[in-house]
A and B are shown apart, each in its own frame.
Chain A
Amino acid sequence: MSEVVKEKITAVDTVTCTIDGQQITVPRGTSVFDAAGQIGIVIPAFCNHAKLKPVGACRMCYVEIEKMPKLQVSCATMATDGMVVSTNSQQVREGRKAVIEFTLINHPLDCPTCDKGGECDLQDLTFDHGYDDSRFGFDKMRFIEEEKRDTFDDLKIGPEIVLNRNRCILCYKCVRANKEAFGEYDIGAFERGDLTEINATPGGEVSNPFSGNLVEICPVGALTNSDWRYKIRVWLTKTVPSICNFSGSGTNITFYKEDHKNFVYRVTSRCNDAIDDGWLSDITRYGYQIVNSESRLKTPLIKKGGKQVKASWDEALAVIKKHMGQIKDQSGGVCIGGLISPSLDNASLYSFSKLFRTVFKSNNIDFRGDYRYLPSVTDSLFTIAASQPFSISDIEKSDVIITFGTDLIREHHNEYLKIRRAVNFYNSTVYSVNPYAVKTADIAKSEMVYSPGTDELVINGICLVAIEKKLVNSSAAAKLKSKISKLSPGVLAKLTGLSKEQFEELAEAISSAKKVTFIVGEIVARSLDRDKICAALSNLNKLFGVQDKGQLAVLSRYANSKGAQKLGLSATPYEIVKDELKKIWGEYPDCQPRNTDAMINLMKKEEIKGFITVGANPMRLYPDRSFASEGLEHVDFLVACDMFETETTELADVVLPLCSWAEYDGDYINLEGKVQTGKQAIKPKYESKAAFEIMELIARQLGAKLFENEQVKNEEIEKLLKLDSVLPWPDDFLKIEYEKKSSQDGYPVPLFICDDPHHSGHLTEKSPSLLNFSDSAYVELSKGLAAKIGVADGDPLRVESPVGKIVVPAKISPVLNSDVAIIPRNFSSTQTTSLLMRKKRVDSVKLTRVEE
């Protein structure tokens, strides 16, 4: 059966069958269940899930098919030509009744205490199809833990997951989803017969980054989560559609809120096949808790005598007016700079840009506070690569998927799952090409780990091997050959650590593929040589014609990075955006554009005197902490808007409380360039205000006005979004010189600073549930490296770089196999970025054991 499902969607073969008297034509391989769904006939089921392979475990989806002697399960029966199906005959109804009765033999009637009550499939279907009584009078089977015999049936099997095995109806949806969709094996079915139980693997716990989904798909209350546990009944809440604020793909979510309390109770998925398949990462699912957090900034704060004291909005704005007005009048607007978070909505971003460019007449703005040495020209190759079109749903249509320089499980959870789906359901081939071994590799046909810092050589190597083996158009090959350094494949292999066969495999895969998806991620984006790597990518694209038969793009990391780029939030916006802005505003500052690096540099020189950060935390996230802190400490007047007190707000002269994304309507553009709206769930908590309101207030204090009304603002944004934001690659092949990099003596281990799989950015550490998964920084290393240093899992380890030193516990990774160190940047307790140097190509550290 599963073989049939595995067939490509492209199969044109169709069958026509009759369901309940209606004729329908569906592709061959469609189940009767799905065919019925297409004409609006809902067949009840527990174990069937649209995104998983059928198993036919629950038998609830019985249908009667002519010429078949018994009832058939529709989820696992494929529609055939001339099939006549009846989904609601007397026999079917009797069959379903019996199934419900059997299911309820051992199901406890503890709906009053069960969290699933009110949204439980078993409850609903019993109501619709079942008897109001049972013929099985004997005692129900009950799982009891020996040590907790008389109190409690619930078991905690993960940081957030509570299991009640008595309620389980053994549909295996959780086990299947974990295996098929997430590639995790931490939950399973044990024993057999009526003793069968779902449980975490012995000695383990269910703590994968997608574990929350298991709770959502459980048709009964067997799996519940601690987050929603005994909080509120589901029928008392209202749902609001919104967008995830922590990832670049903009997964669709639903907020469950209660108006009287102004409280968001939980987040569930809102399946949008074009984007997310209905799976959410735990960051999305539990990250909403920051909205309700008690530790949020409640009122504006003003620095008085070196201490921040509470103040009203009027007082805070008056201070801003005084100081910003002074700087503007005395030194000019060019002495004011700003940094905004790319997770904010379009209106906020645009207001920020307009405030700086029309009121301060300054070009000192940026939205990328966590990259160093960003290009300062409009059409750098990195900007071009990042602007390329990308479609998430095309991932599963590709037969070859290459992930280059991206640790998907830490950056793009949604794409990670899409790739798994492409492999499991559509037989795609994945090649994982990364400077360290990543989790994606378990589905990859082959994993290639190259030496850190040789990214562009790897791409060049692929091109060279392709030319050598005559896999590509010879005229293009000849052109390219003259441009790239003539390193023999043997030398390349030595430098990159990849063998010649691996290069050949990649080159053959790309050239023979019908449709390619080439995903480039954060490891490239964070690299100082990002322009060079993107030049190599440009060559590769041209040589193989990747974009003619697929897609190649640097994926944007944050919820609205694409929107920020389209609205011209970088210091050097696209030329067309600049022209449009000139047209809309009638003016555009002609002063020198300055991005994050340049601004911090000027702060140090005291040329930038006023600085505004909105939702950004450069102190934590900028990859050189001492550089950022030196800069921010030199600023005369720092205004920080954020939801929480952060390292940046500590330095600020005025702190303004910012709304979370659940507190206002906002549009976000995901990495595909798709505009999605996140609706307002609750009223702004405490005295917080949305960023666009704050910008308007600041502008009015300075005697200007950003927008007459909301409509004008929306129209202006609309005009900008209409522009085509895809920049063309350069026409010709680009020259790439190989330069030898000197390695830092004494610091042998390459360091990667990235997000924890359960955290994103600087805000998620305020979510208690996510802290249950991982609550402090660690240094992840391979077994071999740990043995070399002589540390075990959890032992403190001193991590030293030429500029900084931290002590964090070691964590032995099951995946890593080379000498690298990975440290998450999400925890304020550890100053991770203090290890980084702004000007260094490859960060490297020295790891030593802390002697007791």
Chain B
Amino acid sequence: MKEILTALGRIFIRMPIGMLVVLKHLFKKPVTLDYPRKKKPMAPRFMGRQYLERYDDGSERCVSCGLCAAACPADCIYMEPAENEKGERYAKVFEINLLRCIFCGFCEEACPEEAIFMGHHYEFSADNRDSFIWTKEDMLVKHPRKDNPFKTLFRRVRKVYGVGEKKG
């Protein structure tokens, strides 16, 4: 008899309570995203795949000085400098091996030309290793970004000392 009562209790009391939770969540905002169709906006300082910035006139900022490659702890940046038709230095080859990259952002910090930035791109699944090597063509932005939030971080501050302030 006791077993029958317990079973009935489950059906008529516990289950509606459980269903109520489900019913409640039907009207709540979902926690998950409809991922491939919808994407979560990243935090401004999120460090995803790097991109290469341009000057306002459209020319490449990177001069292939090699400081990002020197700063890189994972040794994932490879570049080859060359001379363009104006006689200026530019990166003929610029490659980042994203399988090695640890997204530490040292390259961004080391860059004296404000050319390389950690971007928000994080989707790099692929079925072969070669696709993880990002070349300059992949990383160079089409147009210079006017609303780059990071640019403010790199504004140079020049201290001007008053006469005699540094004495002693």
Binding site for B on A (CB under 8 A): 111-113, 117, 133-135, 137, 151-152, 154, 229-233, 235-236
Question: Bound state CA distance, A111 and B70, in angstroms?
Answer: 14
Question: Bound state CA distance, A151 and B63, in angstroms?
Answer: 15
Question: Bound state CA distance, A134 and B81, in angstroms?
Answer: 30
Partner of A137, one of B86, B113, B158, B166: B158
- Give the 8 A-B residue pairs with the shortest CB-CB distance, closest first: A112-B65, A233-B66, A230-B81, A113-B89, A113-B63, A112-B112, A230-B89, A151-B86
B127 at the interface (CB under 8 A from A): no
Residues of B near A137 (CB, < 8 A) are 158, 160
Known: A133-B159, A151-B86, A232-B81. A113 touches B65 (CB 8 A): yes
Interface contact B161-A135, CB-CB below 8 Å: yes
Interface contact B81-A112, CB-CB below 8 Å: no
Cβ contacts B69-92/A at 8 Å (1 or 0 each): 010000000001111001111000
Known: A111-B112, A113-B89. A236 touches B66 (CB 8 A): yes
Looking across the interface, which residue of chain A has its beta carbon closest to that of B83?
Answer: A230
Residues of B near A152 (CB, < 8 A) are 86-88
Question: Bound state CA distance, A235 and B75, in angstroms?
Answer: 14
Looking across the interface, which residue of chain B has its beta carbon closest to that of A261?
Answer: B80
8 A-B residue contacts at CB 8 Å? A112-B67, A135-B160, A151-B87, A152-B86, A230-B82, A232-B80, A233-B66, A236-B66
Binding site for A on B (CB under 8 A): 63-67, 70, 80-83, 86-89, 112-113, 158-161, 166
Residues of A near B65 (CB, < 8 A) are 111-113, 117, 233
Q: How far is the CB of A585 from chain B (nearest CB, A)?
A: 52
Residues of A near B66 (CB, < 8 A) are 233, 235-236
Known: A112-B113, A137-B160. A231 touches B81 (CB 8 A): yes
Residues of B near A154 (CB, < 8 A) are 87
Question: Bound state CA distance, A117 and B64, in angstroms?
Answer: 12
Q: How far is the CB of A165 from chain B (nearest CB, A)?
A: 15
Residues of B near A112 (CB, < 8 A) are 63, 65, 67, 112-113
Residues of B near A230 (CB, < 8 A) are 64, 81-83, 89
Q: How far is the CB of A359 from chain B (nearest CB, A)?
A: 48
Residues of B near A235 (CB, < 8 A) are 66, 70
Looking across the interface, which residue of chain B has its beta carbon closest to that of A134?
Answer: B158
**13 more A-B contacts (CB under 8 A) besides A112-B113, A230-B83, A235-B70?**
A111-B65, A112-B65, A112-B67, A113-B88, A133-B158, A135-B161, A137-B160, A151-B86, A151-B87, A151-B88, A230-B64, A231-B81, A235-B66
Question: Bound state CA distance, A112 and B61, in angstroms?
Answer: 11
Residues of A near B161 (CB, < 8 A) are 135
Looking across the interface, which residue of chain B has its beta carbon closest to that of A229?
Answer: B83
Residues of A near B63 (CB, < 8 A) are 112-113
Q: How far is the CB of A508 from chain B (nearest CB, A)?
A: 57
Q: How far is the CB of B36 from chain A (nearest CB, A)?
A: 39
Question: Bound state CA distance, A310 and B82, in angstroms?
Answer: 34
Looking across the interface, which residue of chain B has its beta carbon closest to that of A236?
Answer: B66
Q: How far is the CB of A16 from chain B (nearest CB, A)?
A: 36
For A111, A113, A134, which residue has the most chain B Cβ atoms within 10 angstroms? A113
Residues of A near B166 (CB, < 8 A) are 135
Looking across the interface, which residue of chain A has its beta carbon closest to that of B84?
Answer: A230
Q: How far is the CB of A665 from chain B (nearest CB, A)?
A: 30
Question: Bound state CA distance, A330 and B166, in angstroms?
Answer: 93
Looking across the interface, which residue of chain A has its beta carbon closest to that of B163?
Answer: A135
Residues of B near A117 (CB, < 8 A) are 65
Question: Bound state CA distance, A411 and B65, in angstroms?
Answer: 40
Looking across the interface, which residue of chain B has its beta carbon closest to that of A232?
Answer: B81
Looking across the interface, which residue of chain B has its beta carbon closest to that of A135?
Answer: B161
Q: How far is the CB of A777 from chain B (nearest CB, A)?
A: 31
Question: Bound state CA distance, A113 and B115, in angstroms?
Answer: 13
Q: How far is the CB of B58 from chain A (nearest CB, A)?
A: 15
Residues of B near A231 (CB, < 8 A) are 81
Question: Bound state CA distance, A581 and B138, in angstroms?
Answer: 66
Question: Bound state CA distance, A133 and B166, in angstroms?
Answer: 12
Question: Bound state CA distance, A137 and B86, in angstroms?
Answer: 30
Looking across the interface, which residue of chain B has its beta carbon closest to that of A226?
Answer: B83
Q: How far is the CB of A588 from chain B (nearest CB, A)?
A: 55
For A113, A152, A230, A232, which residue has the most chain B Cβ atoms within 10 angstroms? A230
Q: How far is the CB of B160 from chain A (nearest CB, A)?
A: 6
Looking across the interface, which residue of chain B has its beta carbon closest to that of A118?
Answer: B66
Residues of A near B67 (CB, < 8 A) are 112
Looking across the interface, which residue of chain A has its beta carbon closest to that of B62?
Answer: A112
Question: Bound state CA distance, A368 and B122, in angstroms?
Answer: 67
Q: How far is the CB of B26 from chain A (nearest CB, A)?
A: 58
Residues of B near A113 (CB, < 8 A) are 63, 65, 88-89
Residues of B near A111 (CB, < 8 A) are 65, 112
Q: How far is the CB of B1 from chain A (nearest CB, A)?
A: 84
Question: Bound state CA distance, A112 and B66, in angstroms?
Answer: 8
Q: How far is the CB of B163 from chain A (nearest CB, A)?
A: 9
Q: How far is the CB of B59 from chain A (nearest CB, A)?
A: 11
Question: Bound state CA distance, A230 and B66, in angstroms?
Answer: 11
Looking across the interface, which residue of chain A has its beta carbon closest to that of B115?
Answer: A112
Residues of A near B86 (CB, < 8 A) are 151-152
Residues of B near A236 (CB, < 8 A) are 66
For A112, A135, A229, which residue has the most chain B Cβ atoms within 10 angstroms? A112
Residues of A near B70 (CB, < 8 A) are 233, 235
Question: Bound state CA distance, A152 and B87, in angstroms?
Answer: 7
Looking across the interface, which residue of chain B has its beta carbon closest to that of A131?
Answer: B166
Looking across the interface, which residue of chain B has its beta carbon closest to that of A133?
Answer: B159
Residues of A near B81 (CB, < 8 A) are 230-232
Q: How far is the CB of B45 from chain A (nearest CB, A)?
A: 25
Question: Bound state CA distance, A230 and B82, in angstroms?
Answer: 5
Q: How far is the CB of A151 from chain B (nearest CB, A)?
A: 5
Question: Bound state CA distance, A151 and B67, in angstroms?
Answer: 24
Looking across the interface, which residue of chain B has its beta carbon closest to that of A115?
Answer: B89
Residues of A near B82 (CB, < 8 A) are 230
For A111, A137, A231, A233, which residue has the most chain B Cβ atoms within 10 angstroms? A233
Q: How far is the CB of A120 from chain B (nearest CB, A)?
A: 13
Question: Bound state CA distance, A135 and B158, in angstroms?
Answer: 9
Q: How far is the CB of A135 from chain B (nearest CB, A)?
A: 5
Question: Bound state CA distance, A139 and B112, in angstroms?
Answer: 19
Question: Bound state CA distance, A728 and B33, in angstroms?
Answer: 97
Question: Bound state CA distance, A345 and B81, in angstroms?
Answer: 36
Residues of B near A229 (CB, < 8 A) are 83
Looking across the interface, which residue of chain A has its beta carbon closest to that of B165?
Answer: A135
Looking across the interface, which residue of chain B has its beta carbon closest to that of A234?
Answer: B66
Looking across the interface, which residue of chain A has its beta carbon closest to that of B112?
Answer: A112
Q: How far is the CB of A644 from chain B (nearest CB, A)?
A: 26
Q: How far is the CB of A233 from chain B (nearest CB, A)?
A: 4
Q: How far is the CB of B11 from chain A (nearest CB, A)?
A: 72
Question: Bound state CA distance, A243 and B82, in angstroms?
Answer: 29
Residues of B near A133 (CB, < 8 A) are 158-159
Question: Bound state CA distance, A152 and B82, in angstroms?
Answer: 15
Q: How far is the CB of A162 from chain B (nearest CB, A)?
A: 9
Q: How far is the CB of B118 from chain A (nearest CB, A)?
A: 19
Residues of B near A151 (CB, < 8 A) are 86-88
Question: Bound state CA distance, A807 and B19, in angstroms?
Answer: 105
Q: How far is the CB of B80 from chain A (nearest CB, A)?
A: 8
Residues of B near A134 (CB, < 8 A) are 158
Residues of B near A232 (CB, < 8 A) are 80-81
